[in-house]
Amino acid sequence: MSRRALLIAILTAGVLVPRPGAGATEEWAFTLTDPDRPGRTVPVTAIGPAVASGPCPVLALGHATMTPWTEYRALAGPLAEAGWLVLLPDTENGMQADQGELADDLLLAVAAVQDGEAALPVGMPEAGPDWALAGHSLGGGAAIVAAARRTPDAVVALAPQERARPSMIAHAGAVAAPVLVISGELDCITPPGSHHWPLHEALAATPRAMVTLHGAGHCYFAAPCEPCVGAESGCPPEVGPDAHRERTLALMQPWLAWHVRGDAGAHAAFLEAADAPWCAVDLVDVAAAAPVVPAARLRLLGPSIGAPVTRWRLELPDARPVVADVFDVRGRRVRRLVDGLAADRLDLLWSGQDDAGRRVPAGVYLLRVRDGRDVLSSRVVRLD
């Protein structure tokens, strides 16, 4: 059993929640516990495609303060229909919610479904290795903090909230994933000038984008509910909930498809949405931020078939956060080789063992390396 599987136990599983009139998606409920945080239980609802053609990319979505996860069905539904497995933790629901705890809950949920070693609900789609973080307000700040702790493929922060403990802005420099911040022009709950723009400017990763929705407020990333709507009664938005959500998805979906799924047309689709008259965008792209950045290189050293130890050499033009994982042909992570800052040259060694030290079966495996800018891969064949 891997380390993450040891940290994750399923307390309640196999609960299928039917949704009237929602033929394309299904919901599954389960509860996790993390021994690293004694007594911590994390109820999670997963929304995914009713029929999946293969492993699904994973999106963990955090909620706003005093806003139940149920108010994000309309946002999660279209993503699930597009093939995403959306995870919604039901924790930190009070006024004194802890953003750092919610960040760890998002990461715990992702690890649970990606490891796939515990008794997850029957019929839930298989989770692939690709994943992203997102969240609204409290959850947006939690997504940034979580991304600083473990690097996803992309982040979407919806009106993210700055808090003193922990501060998402203080964590921003450690976020290596591409980040999309979507802000309401009339947001008086997390004013853009003190929450969203400082985050955008503190982020080091590229590409990153700060999109302002004209006439929009804070609450309608979720369904209208109290106390959020009541809190902005003195500064009511000009854009209604349906239009707010549609515009959010028009930006969010291509951003995720571009960075997580590698969709060739998603970059253009995002730029087209960002050019709409209902929004304004500040995009810091790779080319604009660093016009001449040499690419990283990954080389397999020596023969791979039958070798007791497989060795790769990663060559980097500068210091970067590196995450290197070995996956099997089903897309399940087998071994994490590196997760940290690296510079210049790094040799990656794999002796054919999983995270728990057990020898893996014979077969084809894939090394995937992410360094904040590039995604590199190499195939290796292991023999008994």
Sheet of strand 154-158, all strands in order from the earlier edge strand to the far edge: 9-17, 25-33, 41-49, 85-89, 56-62, 127-136, 154-158, 179-184, 208-213, 279-284
**pLDDT interval class at 5 (50, 70, 90):** very low
For residues 198-205, average pLDDT:
92
Q: Is the pLDDT of residue 152 over 80?
A: yes
- Report residue 363 as tokens: 């077969």
pLDDT at 127: 93
Sheet of strand 345-350, all strands in order from the earlier edge strand to the far edge: 297-301, 310-315, 345-350
Whether the pTM exceeds 0.75: the reply is no
- Report residue 321 as tokens: 């956060």
Dihedral-angle region of residue 206 (phi above 0 means left; psi in -120 to 50 means alpha; beta otherwise): beta
**pLDDT of 234-259, one tens digit each?**
888 999 999 999 999 999 999 999 99
**pLDDT interval class at 156 (50, 70, 90):** very high
For residues 63-92, average pLDDT:
95
**pLDDT interval class at 294 (50, 70, 90):** low
Provide the H-helix boundaries in the chain.
Answer: 3-7, 73-81, 99-115, 138-149, 168-171, 196-202, 228-231, 241-259, 266-274, 286-289
pLDDT at 9: 37
Q: Is the pLDDT of residue 58 over 90?
A: yes
Q: Is the pLDDT of residue 13 over 60?
A: no
The residue ranking higher by pLDDT, 116 or 222, is 222
For residues 200-207, average pLDDT:
90
Q: Locate tokens 């196999």: which residue?
A: 14
**pLDDT of 82-138, one tens digit each?**
999 999 999 999 888 999 999 999 999 999 999 885 668 888 999 999 999 999 999
Phi, psi of 350 (to 5 degrees): -135, 125
Residues 6+ apart with CB under 8 A from 166: 99, 100, 103, 145
Rounded distance between C-alpha atoms, residue 201 and residue 321, angstroms: 19
Q: Which amino acid does the sequence have at 298? A: L
pLDDT at 289: 41
Q: Is the pLDDT of residue 149 over 70?
A: yes
Q: Is the pLDDT of residue 16 over 80?
A: no
What are the chain's domains? Answer: 3-289 (3.40.50.1820), 297-382 (2.60.40.1930)
Q: In 305-374, where do the E strands start and end?
A: 310-315, 320-328, 333-342, 345-350, 363-370
CA distances from 310 to 65, 253, 271, 353 (A): 47, 37, 41, 11
pLDDT at 306: 61
**If you average pLDDT over each of 136-140, 184-188, 297-301, which comes out highest?**
136-140
The residue ranking higher by pLDDT, 19 or 114, is 114
**pLDDT of 327-367, one tens digit each?**
887 778 899 999 998 888 888 999 999 999 999 998 888 88
For residues 364-379, average pLDDT:
79
For residues 294-299, average pLDDT:
74
Mean pLDDT estimate for the chain: 86
Helix (H, G, I), strand (E, B) or coil at 383: coil
Helix (H, G, I), strand (E, B) or coil at 329: coil
DSSP string, 280-301: EEEEE-HHHH-SS-PPPEEEEE
